[in-house]
């Protein structure tokens, strides 16, 4: 099972991204709307990938990336700023193949 954390500030986009992730066999997506929630979820789960979504301030992206990498240096972090389901899947599959 590939576990993916999506962090985004826009509820509708987060819902859509999680629906697309969870529609894939062997993928499990969880979402966070705040930095605090993202850090909490990350500490409680063994994520393979973190998607940093739209609406996150640069400072949050930097802080979260640092926190996640300090806890799990091999974590894959992908900025995801939109696009269709094909782009999302390709971003994830590409990151996993590296």
Q: Which of 95, 96, 4 is nearest to 41 (CA)?
A: 4
pLDDT tens-digit series, residues 59-91: 999 999 999 999 999 999 998 866 666 778 888
User: What is the average pLDDT value for the chain, to the nearest integer?
Assistant: 92
Of the two residues 81 and 55, the one the predictor is more confident about is: 55
Q: Which of 55, 57, 53, 47 is nearest to 27 (CA)?
A: 47
Question: Rounded distance, CA 7 to CA 50, Å?
Answer: 8
Angle, in degrees to the nearest 10, between helices 85-96 and 11-22: 60
Q: Which of 30, 13, 1 is nearest to 81 (CA)?
A: 13
Hey, where are the domains in the chain? 2-96
This prediction's pTM: 0.92
pLDDT, residue 65, reads 97
Question: Rounded distance, CA 92 to CA 59, Å?
Answer: 23
CATH match of 2-96 with 3.40.50.300? no
pLDDT, residue 33, reads 95
């Amino acid at each position: 099972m590939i576990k993916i954390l999506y962090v985004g500030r826009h509820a509708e986009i987060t819902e859509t991204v999680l629906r697309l992730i969870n529609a894939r066999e062997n993928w499990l997506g969880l979402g966070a709307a705040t930095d605090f929630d993202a850090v909490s979820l990350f500490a409680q789960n063994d994520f393979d990938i973190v998607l940093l979504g739209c609406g996150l301030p640069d400072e949050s992206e930097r802080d979260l990336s640092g926190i996640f990498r300090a806890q799990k240096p091999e974590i894959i972090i992908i900025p995801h700023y939109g696009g269709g389901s094909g782009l999302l899947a390709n971003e994830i599959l590409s990151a996993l193949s590296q």
